[in-house]
Amino acid sequence: MATLLRIDASARTEGSYSRQLGDSFETSWIARNPTGTVVRRDLALTPVPQIANETIAGFYTPAEAMTDALLDATALSDGLIAELRAADVLLVTTPMYNFGIPAALKAWVDQIVRIGHTFSYDGTSFTGLVTGKPVTIAIAYGAGGYGEGGALAALDLVRPYLATLFGFLGFNDVRFAVIEATTGDPIALDTALNIARGTIAALAA
């Protein structure tokens, strides 16, 4: 039985365009996987804490030297990584805030990017340890022109960052669906949203 892990990062729990794209993906995925399971992690409703000094210490402490305090400090990371590993498909929905990803999504990233768990290092090179599953990323941009060749493409730090991040972790199938100009003309936005919904629904196949 397949499992979809959905991560929503928009601070807007209503009226979010990235979440709407996520809904289209989820609906299409469920139609194709009627016995599947959807695990939803809403980073606005249940924020993931920022990593702290004890968290980092625990990340780099050998298992045999872990104290109760360090085990407590890394327990959330353990759970989030287990959730990620258990999923067959990953869906991430996010807006662009000030050219980058929301702090809520970065907090999740910092908890799941962990040596010996989601990547390894042999002294020479890194190897991603989360393999064999696709990730679809839905991004909403307030303005237009962030697409490839667009006037604002150089200011988009969301798409290249997430592509690099998931590639580093071992994902070799990273897909994007985007909606631009969400603060622009309503009629044009409605057309663009319908196109983007169709695009991401097809990716669920």
pLDDT tens digits along 19-44: 999 999 999 999 999 999 999 999 99
Q: Is the pLDDT of residue 56 over 90?
A: yes
User: Confidence band (pLDDT; 50, 70, 90) for 205?
Assistant: confident
Mean pLDDT within 52-58: 98
Query: Could you tell me if 9 and 93 are in contact, meaning their C-beta atoms sit under 8 angstroms apart?
Result: yes
Rounded to 5 degrees, φ, ψ at 41 are -125, 105
Residue 128, CB half-sphere, CA atoms under 13 Å: how many?
16
pLDDT grade for 70, boundaries at 50, 70 and 90: very high
- What pLDDT shows up at residue 148? 80
DSSP string for residues in 30-92 = HHH-TT-EEEEEETTTSPPPPP-HHHHHHHTS-GGG--HHHHHHHHHHHHHHHHHHH-SEEEE
Using one digit for the tens of pLDDT, what is the confidence trace for 195-204? Answer: 999 999 999 9
Cα–Cα distances (Å) from 151 to 85, 104, 155, 205, in that order, read: 38, 28, 9, 32
Tokens of 25: 């993906």
Task: Report pLDDT for 72.
Answer: 98
Average pLDDT over residues 87-107: 98
As a whole number, the mean pLDDT across the chain is 97
The encoded tokens of residue 20 equal: 């709407």
Closest CA to 161 of 110, 108, 100: 100
Q: For residue 140, what is the enclosing H or E element?
A: strand 135-140
Nearest CA to 179 out of 22, 30, 5, 6 is that of: 22
Q: Is the pLDDT of residue 68 over 90?
A: yes
d(C-alpha 147, C-alpha 89), whole Å:
25
Structure tokens at 204: 């669920």
Contact 136, 204 (CB under 8 A): yes
* pLDDT confidence bin for 85, thresholds 50/70/90: very high
**Residues forming a β-bridge with 100:** 97
Q: What is the pTM of this model?
A: 0.96
Note the pLDDT of residue 149.
84
69, 154, 170, 50: which is closest to 118 by C-alpha? Answer: 170
pLDDT of residue 166: 98
Kindly state the average pLDDT of the residues 174-187.
Answer: 95
180 pLDDT exceeds 90? yes
* Mean pLDDT of all residues in 5-13: 97
